[in-house]
Structure 1
Amino acid sequence: MPPAMPETRTPQPGRLRRVNRSLPAFRAILALILREMSTRYGRSPGGYAWALLEPLGGILILSFGFSLLLRTPSLGNSFLLFYASGYLPFTLYQDLSNKIARSIGFSRALLYYPAVTWLDAVLARFVLNALTGILVTYVLLFAILAAADTRVTVDMGPVIAAIGMSMILGLGVGMLNCALMGLFPVWETVWSIAMRPLFIVSGVFFLYEDMPANVQAILYWVPLIHITGEMRSGIYPSYAADYVSLAYVAAIALICLVMGLILMGRYHRTILNA
């Protein structure tokens, strides 16, 4: 009797279709990331150094300005560390939301090719700017900790949670604004004007607990005030940000993300051809 032939499994058609779709999408996202890296960082003097110098400059200006008015910050004794703990998650959110909101405009010429979709453009910008923001936050935060010689033991759990919430909120708000700016070009101007006070009310240079009760009732609905509070609770062991609700931040981010995805899925051709 001849030996039995080994059984060969035929790949399932559904699995093949998923693989065939995912590989071109991965290549398109990687190509868009490399394109933005060369465009944004490769053509400017200093390149990636500006990603570090820009937030560092903002932190130094805040520290110097408030050190002239106050003897000590609201937490600890280092102005650099206090303002970095609020400024870094804020800039991570702001950079992500702004870049994602302008994804279609930045990659419009490439979106006419069938291999590149609007979702590829959004994901490419999110991945590149999220990774850059995480690197900048890590380098600057621990460089300031070393320079300030505060001997602080950082609790990485709240710090990672704050960075993650900044990324998710930036993705959600950016996705929704990407659709709204494409459908209503005037929305970009309206949003820019409406968000100018955001830096002031996000808790970058004050503590939520230092505000009067009636102001706290309003500030509570600002998602970024929860993110900065969570960040500082990880850096300052004595600070307990009891008001923080990461579930609220996640809910706002997911609502914006779902609404943005629905609008882009329905109107992406209209936005692209506008």
Structure 2
Amino acid sequence: MPTTLSPDSLPPGTMRHGARVQIRVIGALILREMHTRYGRENIGYVWLFLEPMLLATMIAILHSRASNHFGNDLKPVPLSLIGYCNFMTFRSIFNRAEGALDANLPLLHHRTVSIVDVLVSRAILDAAGTWIAFTVLISLCVATGMANLPERPLILILGMILMVWLSIGLAMVVCAITHDRHAVGRLIHPLSYIMMPLSGAFFTMKSLPESIRNIFLYIPLAHVFEMLRYGWFKTATPEFIDPMYLAAWILISTFLGLLLLALARQRIHMP
């Protein structure tokens, strides 16, 4: 009978062993982050999704009386929920990257922990909170007839994953450039708010005049939101989604972020 090695008995240095170690590290960091943010008092970890749910509910209520000015099946409530919940994912990951290196220096004493692990664990936690909030709210909308079921769920899921990946890539860049540059760090939060009306979260590219649309399509978030709407709405089209442009942004930001973090790590003197 062939014997199967358990994950714990895998020899050090193998890819499977390294992957398992990193998964454990990220899992531990997620639990640490949850306890640091929410603690165990009152409703504790429920705030993970309750806070984004309350904010998204307010946005949905504001749009509930709006006319269906985008036409067809692009109803205002699901359109706003798809836009706002996914923008919250971006904003949370992007904003929390500022100062993340300074705040987590003690963790870098552990050889298996890197700042990338910290950023990824934070991103997973933020994405999980907004995804849970979105799932609950959109399910209520479907149940009450304010929204239809997604027409292309796999594309919708892909768009949500790409939003997280793009956010992590940009977060790594932000984390690296704001280390020892506190003046730059103060610009990150205002920049994320400026990005909200420019991201295409609340309007379609098709509704814009061509001259303005061409400017908005330079923003990678616009392509992600077009993908999300294409995944949910039957009449949405992939006309303004450029997969190669979006992939270039994701890969370049990830590579640049890793490079800048490595350079920043060299400037850190651990006691």
TM-score, L = length of structure 2: 0.82
Residues 62-99 of structure 1: per-residue CA shift (max 9 Å, x gap) = 3443455x433525374321201211221122222233
Partner SS, residue 135 of structure 1: helix
Q: 2:138 aligns with which of 136, 141, 145?
A: 141
Q: C-alpha displacement at 1:263, in angstroms?
A: 1.5
Match of 1:232 in 2: 229
Q: Structure 1 regions of 5+ residues with no counterpart?
A: 1-13
Which letter maps to 1:168? W
Residue in 2 that maps onto 1:164: 161
Q: Which residue of structure 2 lines up, in the alignment, with residue 8 of structure 1?
A: none
Residue 72 (1) aligns with residue 68 (2): yes
Distance verdict in 2 for CA 1:35–1:153, change over 3 Å: closer
Query: Does the Cα contact within 8 Å between 1:67 and 1:79 map onto a contact in 2?
Result: yes
C-alpha contact 2:138 2:147 (8 A) present in aligned 1: no
Map of 1:4-83 to 2, 5 A cutoff? 16-18=12-14, 25-43=22-40, 45-67=42-64, 70-75=66-71, 76=73, 78-83=75-80
Aligned-partner Cα distance in 2 for 1:114–1:219: 43
Give the partner amino acid of 2:25. A
Contact 1:130 1:167 (8 Å CA) reproduced: yes
From the superposition, tell whether residues 66 and 132 of structure 1 become closer, same or farther in structure 2 (CA, over 3 Å): closer
> Quick one: structure 1 residues 162 and 116, their matched pair in 2 at CA, closer, same or farther if it must change by over 3 Å?
closer
- The match for 2:219 is 222
What SS is found at the alignment partner of 1:154? coil
2:13 is paired with a residue whose SS is helix
Distance 1:258 1:183, change over 3 A: farther
> Match for 2:68: what amino acid?
T
Structure 1: how far apart are the matches of 2:234 and 2:37? 38
Match of 2:260 among 263, 268, 274: 263
Q: Is the 8 A contact 1:101 1:176 kept in 2?
A: no
Distance in 1 (CA, whole Å) between partners of 2:74 and 2:133 is 23
Residue type of the alignment partner of 1:238:
T
Q: Alignment partner of 1:157: what SS? A: helix
Q: Considering only aligned residues, what root-mean-square deviation do their CA atoms show, in Å?
A: 2.9
Deviation at residue 231 of structure 1 after TM alignment: 0.9
Question: 2-side partners of 1:179 and 1:86: how far apart?
Answer: 28
- Partners of 2:97 and 2:41 lie apart in 1 by 21
Q: Which amino acid aligns with 1:104?
A: L
Corresponding residue SS for 1:17: coil
Cα displacement string for residues 222-249 of structure 1 (whole angstroms, at most 9, x for unaligned residues): 1111111111112110121311113222
Is this contact kept in 2: 1:86–1:228, CA < 8 A? Answer: yes
TM-superposition CA deviations, 1:157-205 (whole Å, max 9, x none): 2201210110111110001111011142222122333333211112222
Provide the residue aligned with 2:191 in structure 1. Answer: 194
Contact 1:201 1:219 in 2 (8 A): yes
**CA shift in 2, pair 1:147/1:73, >3 Å:** farther
Q: Which residue of 2 aligns with 1:249?
A: 246
State the partner residue of 1:122: 119
Point out the more displaced range, 199-208 or 187-196: 187-196
Residue 61 of structure 1: how far off its partner (Å): 3.0
Matched residues, number: 260
Q: CA deviation at 1:36?
A: 0.8
Do 2:98 and 2:175's aligned partners in 1 also have CA atoms closer than 8 Å?
yes
User: In the aligned structure 1, how far is the partner of 2:221 from the partner of 2:256?
Assistant: 20
Which amino acid in the other structure matches residue 187 of structure 1? V
Distance change (3 Å), C-alpha of 1:60 and 1:78: farther
Whether the aligned pair in 1 keeps the contact of 2:98 and 2:174 (CA below 8 Å) is: yes
SS in 1 for 2:95: helix
**Percentage identity across paired residues of the two chains:** 23
Contact 1:100 1:126 in 2 (8 A): no
* Residue segments in structure 2 that go unaligned for 5+ positions in a row: 1-9
